[in-house]
Amino acid sequence: MTTIGFIYPDHAAEDDYPRMEQVLGGDVRLAVEHIYGTDLHAIAELLDLGSPEKLAEGSRKLGPHEPASVVWACTSGSFVYGWLGATHQVEGVAEASGVPASSTSFAFVHAARALGCSRVSVAASYPDEVATLFKQFLADGGIEVVRFSSAGIDTAAEVGQLSPDAVVELATANDHPDADAVLIPDTAMRTIELVDRMEQELGKPVLTANQVTVWEGLRIAGIQRSVSGCGALFAPAR
């Protein structure tokens, strides 16, 4: 049994992780530990949420699980630091946990590259001021954003209450014909059970925060897993 550890902020959509654990099968365990702060999608609050002290606390909580890797499961709480700051973030988590580490923001870049997607649409839940920083983060990672939208939702709790139909609508309404994939940031959004549905409607890969976070945790632990039920990123080779 291999355990992948996730530092998850507050509470909103962490039930996506046991769902994904079921999709992956019985030999991978996804361990989630929480850190706490305000769930407001605002720059100052997000900088506090992703602070070294809080991430070190999350790393300590995951210690008893003996994870093979650790991921900071928060998009906005990582990209708000910029590329260099987010790099320092994961270096701190790796030092505190003693295993390879990453974050959801880097997971989006790595997942897009893995699928050969260099031009994307972004359907963000955040206010524009915050969402724009994700667009910049992707650009720093060599990913061109050809369509960009921000839904202006102020808190993670509100995002966690979105209906499945609302999540699918967010994706389908914000696609672009030149986009290789549609990216939906925010680990507060439940998406694991919706990825296949969104891909079928759009006819292209859809990358969502909790989906890419799990994939990244497996990747940096040296695990490759192909399964049906969670989109092109996990799809078995044909």
Q: What is the CATH number of domain 2-106+211-234?
A: 3.40.50.12500
Say whether 115-206 and 2-106+211-234 share the same fold.
yes
Q: Which residue has the higher pLDDT, 214 or 43?
A: 214
Amino acid code (one letter) for 142? G
The set of residues, in sequence order, having a beta carbon less than 8 Å from that of 7 and lying 6+ positions away, is 33, 34, 35, 55, 58, 59, 61, 62, 70, 71, 72, 73, 74, 93
As its CATH architecture, domain 115-206 has 3-Layer(aba) Sandwich (3.40)
Per residue in 90-140, pLDDT (tens digit) is 999 999 999 999 999 999 999 999 999 999 999 998 888 999 999 999 999
Task: Report the amino acid identity of residue 26.
Answer: G
| pLDDT attached to residue 237 | 61
Residue 48 exposed, middle or buried by CB count within 10 Å (0-12, 13-18, 19+): middle
Query: What are the strands of the beta sheet with 206-208, ordered from one edge?
Result: 144-150, 119-124, 181-184, 206-208
> What are the E-state strand segments in 48-204?
69-72, 101-103, 119-124, 144-150, 181-184
Rg (CA), the chain: 16
Instruction: Please list, in sequence order, all residues whose beta carbon lies within 8 angstroms of the beta carbon of residue 207, skipping any fewer than 6 positions away.
Output: 108, 111, 112, 115, 117, 120, 181, 182, 183, 184, 231, 233
The residue ranges of every structural domain in the chain are: 2-106+211-234, 115-206
- Residue 151 is predicted with a pLDDT of 82
Q: Greatest CA separation found in the chain?
A: 47
Task: Report pLDDT digits (tens) over 161-198.
Answer: 889 999 999 999 999 999 999 999 999 999 999 999 99
Tokens 């994706």 correspond to 171
